[in-house]
Amino acid sequence: MTRLRFALLNAAHDGANTRRNFRRELDVDLVEFDAVDGDLPDHTEFDGVVVTGSRSSVYWDEAWIPPLVDYVAEAAEAGCPVLGVCYGHQVLAEALGGRVAGMDGFEIGYNEIRRVRDDPLFEGIDESFTAFTTHGDAVVELPPSATLLAENDRGVHAFRDGHCWGVQFHPEYDVETAREVTDGKREQIGDARVDGVLESITPAAYDAACEAKALFENFTAYAARLAGERSERAAADD
């Protein structure tokens, strides 16, 4: 089978860490597009779409955000597999009719998340698992046709709607990214809390969080199955 092609919609502004992390975790031909610059490809040319994290909020009045939300809605409607991570998870929720709002406080660090039901995206991941989280917004209303997949005491951490999945946590983060992102939150959450989170970013915590990286392989396997089914239908029509 031809190697899969995914579109990476990078919403991270200065996304060097984002680029490195997703290229490491996704074993596909990954073509990057600058979502902040309005660079949105024809989704029909790809086997899947991945939307990254961002410093922005989906409800901010920024010119690039509504076209991104509309694009994701169109890709989802067309049956293209979509994976949204953190901000991408929130974009997906908004695109499909859910709602995102600011949280009371900020969740950051390695935290425990609970799966509430089985799903192919979480195959091989324990019912309770560790992942790095960093967000001040959350999905407060799921899309009407979405299914909750994972949560913790701070809210929704994963949902599915058809061929689309959103995850609030960051399975792609390495230790370098976790430390850099945390250190950049000093003005937002204060030195004492930042220093405490930095102390918790240990090799053991990272190793525990690596379990959640299986979702990238699972998403890719799902996209490959759909691509194979499309190829079979096309061959049958010839």
Rounded distance between C-alpha atoms, residue 184 and residue 178, angstroms: 10
Confidence (pLDDT) at 142: 99
**What letter does residue 2 receive in the DSSP assignment?**
P
Q: Is residue 164 a contact partner of residue 89, using CB atoms and an 8 Å limit? A: no
> Tell me, what's the pLDDT at 96?
99
Positions annotated as catalytic residues are 86, 170, 172
Sign, CA dihedral 2-45-144-34, equals positive
CA-CA-CA-CA torsion sign (17, 89, 65, 47): positive
Cβ burial of 200 (10 Å; 0-12, 13-18, 19+) is middle
**Helix (H) or strand (E) segment spanning residue 43:** none
Quick one: pLDDT at residue 238? 63
- 216 touches 25 (CB < 8 A): yes
What separation in angstroms does the CA of 9 have from each of 3, 4, 42, 85, 93? 19, 16, 12, 11, 16
Phi, psi at residue 188, to the nearest 5°?
A: -80, -40
- Give residue 236's pLDDT: 77
Sheet holding 155-161, edge to edge: 29-34, 5-10, 48-51, 82-85, 164-167, 155-161, 147-152, 99-115, 128-141
Q: Tens-digit pLDDT profile for the chain (238 aa)?
A: 589 999 999 999 877 899 999 999 999 999 999 999 999 999 999 999 999 999 999 999 999 999 999 999 999 999 999 999 999 999 999 999 999 999 999 999 999 999 999 999 999 999 999 999 999 999 999 999 999 999 999 999 999 999 999 999 999 999 999 999 999 999 999 999 999 999 999 999 999 999 999 999 999 999 999 999 887 877 777 6
Token readout for 30 is 């990954």
3 state DSSP class of 53? coil
* pLDDT number for residue 13: 85
Give the number of residues written for the chain.
238
Q: CA separation (Å) from 35 to 7, 107, 123, 207?
A: 11, 25, 30, 31
Q: Which amino acid is at 213?
A: K
d(CA 7, CA 186): 33
CATH 3.40.50.880 assigned to domain 5-237? The reply is yes
